[in-house]
Every structure is written in C-alpha cells, then in structure tokens.
C-alpha cells in the first residue's frame, strides 16, 4: 500500500492516535514537501459557526452543513477555502487539489473567482507537520494514508466520514470503523 502523504490524499487517524486534536479525524493533505513538511485540513470537525457569519459573500455557496469547519489546531485565525469547480485546471483565485476540488482565495468575491465555483467549504485553522514529522507518525501507525474521493471533502454527514472512509478500504482496515470510542466499551 502506498503511504505517501501527497496533496489530494487522505490521512485517517487510526484508533491508537491519542491526540485529542486528531482522534477519529480525516485530514485532506493540501501540500507535502520533504523540505517544508505537510499541511492539511480536518474534514470532519464542523463548528457551530455559520459560514454567513464571517464570510457572508460565500454563505450562499456553502456545502451542507453550511458551517465553518475546524481545519486543525494550527493558525485558528487563518481561513482556508475548498471548493468544487466546473473546471479541473488552475484559474485565477482557484488551484486544483483533487479533480474538480481545490483551494480558492476567500478574499476574492465569488463573482471574481474565474473557476466557476459550484460549492464551498470553509476551514478555520489547519493541520501542519514539520519536515519528516508526518512520515514518522505514519511509520508509528498513527495514520492510514488513502486515496480521497471528491465527495469526502464536501461530505454532508461529516460526523460519519471517519467510519465511511475506513469501511470503503475493505478487509481488515474496514473493520477498524467498528472500534468503539472507548475501548472499555468493547
């Protein structure tokens, strides 16, 4: 199995990962570089803040649930936008990550992004790892690296995304979706 954490792939937190920032999370890798480290956003941590509150211009395009997601424990004042576009190539204000999904410039209004944005998801903060740090965590068995599906990023049921991604892996890996939150409950 290929376990390289490259842009567009998912990191699925395995049950042994005890860090509460990442327990049962699914992270979309946005960038990964040997010299710079890796950066991603947690896809399954919706907040209670409506996208309309901080970014009213993007609210009408927000995917359900139309809330800001907690992208990770780093830079919680930073906002990252992901969107589905009608194009797969880079355009002004939009850069593809996975097919027709990519990052977009939140400071640019929807009418000024040239990519034909169809729907968006906004993340507050991000997950970041220094050079070699994420690879070490993968080697320790904290993360499973899998291919992402376009529907993962804009999933309407983020609370179940962790289980859904594990189940579609098949075999013994799929069984991990049944591990209880508290192992004493087993």
**Is it the case that residue 59 has pLDDT exceeding 60?**
yes
Section 134-153 average pLDDT: 92
- State yes or no: pLDDT of 1 exceeds 70: no
pLDDT recorded at residue 100? 86
- Tell whether 15 is covered by a domain: yes
pLDDT number for residue 106? 87
Give the chain's end-to-end CA distance (angstroms, integer): 29
Between 18-22, 44-48, 142-146, 179-183, the lowest mean confidence (pLDDT) is in 179-183
Residue 71 has pLDDT above 90, yes or no: yes
Question: What value does the mean pLDDT take over residues 70-89?
Answer: 88
Q: Is residue 102 part of a domain?
A: yes
Query: For the chain, how many structural domains are there in total?
Result: 1
Interatomic CA distance for residues 146 and 165, integer angstroms: 9
Q: Are the CB atoms for 28 and 21 separated by under 8 Å?
A: no
Judge whether 1 lies within some domain: no
pLDDT confidence tier of residue 180, bands split at 50, 70 and 90:
confident
Cis, peptide link before residue 143, omega less than 30° from 0: no
Most distant CA pair in the chain: distance in Å? 53
The pLDDT mean for the chain works out to 90
Q: Per the domain annotation, does 4 fall within a domain?
A: no
Q: What angle do CA 12, 85, 74 make, to 5 degrees?
A: 40
Please report how many Cα atoms fall inside a 13 Å half-sphere around the Cα of residue 104, on the Cβ side. 31
Domain annotation covers residue 117? yes
pTM of this structure: 0.93
- What is the mean predicted confidence (pLDDT) over 8-28? 94
Residue 22 lies in a domain: yes
Domain assignment of residue 64, yes or no: yes
Please give the residue range of the domain that contains residue 132: 9-185
pLDDT at res. 179: 87
Q: What is the CATH number of the domain that holds 166?
A: 3.40.1740.10
Q: Cα separation of 111 and 172, whole Å?
A: 47
**Is residue 152 classed exposed, middle or buried when 0-12, 13-18 and 19+ CB atoms within 10 A define those classes?**
buried
Residue 144 backbone zone (phi > 0: left; psi -120 to 50: alpha; other: beta): beta
Q: What is the pLDDT of residue 115?
A: 65
pLDDT band of residue 184 (cuts 50, 70, 90) is low
Torsion, CA 5, CA 6, CA 7, CA 13, rounded to 10? -10
User: Does 3 fall in a domain?
Assistant: no
> 181 pLDDT exceeds 60?
yes
């Amino acid at each position: 199995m290929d376990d390289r954490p490259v842009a567009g792939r998912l990191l699925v937190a395995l049950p042994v990962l005890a860090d509460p920032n990442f327990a049962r999370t699914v992270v979309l890798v946005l960038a990964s570089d040997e010299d710079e480290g890796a950066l991603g956003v947690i896809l399954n941590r919706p907040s209670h803040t409506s996208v309309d509150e901080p970014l009213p211009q993007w609210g009408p395009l927000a995917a359900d649930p139309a809330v800001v997601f907690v992208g990770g424990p780093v830079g919680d004042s930073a906002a990252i936008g992901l969107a589905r576009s009608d194009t797969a190539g880079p355009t002004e204000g939009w850069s593809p990550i996975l097919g027709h999904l990519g990052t977009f410039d939140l400071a640019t209004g929807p009418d000024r992004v040239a990519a034909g944005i169809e729907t968006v998801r906004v993340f507050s903060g991000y997950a970041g790892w220094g050079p070699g740090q994420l690879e070490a965590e993968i080697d320790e068995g904290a993360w499973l690296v899998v291919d992402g599906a376009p529907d993962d990023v804009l999933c309407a049921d983020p609370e179940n995304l962790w289980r859904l991604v594990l189940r579609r892996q098949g075999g013994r890996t799929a069984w991990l979706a049944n591990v209880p939150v508290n192992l004493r409950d087993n």
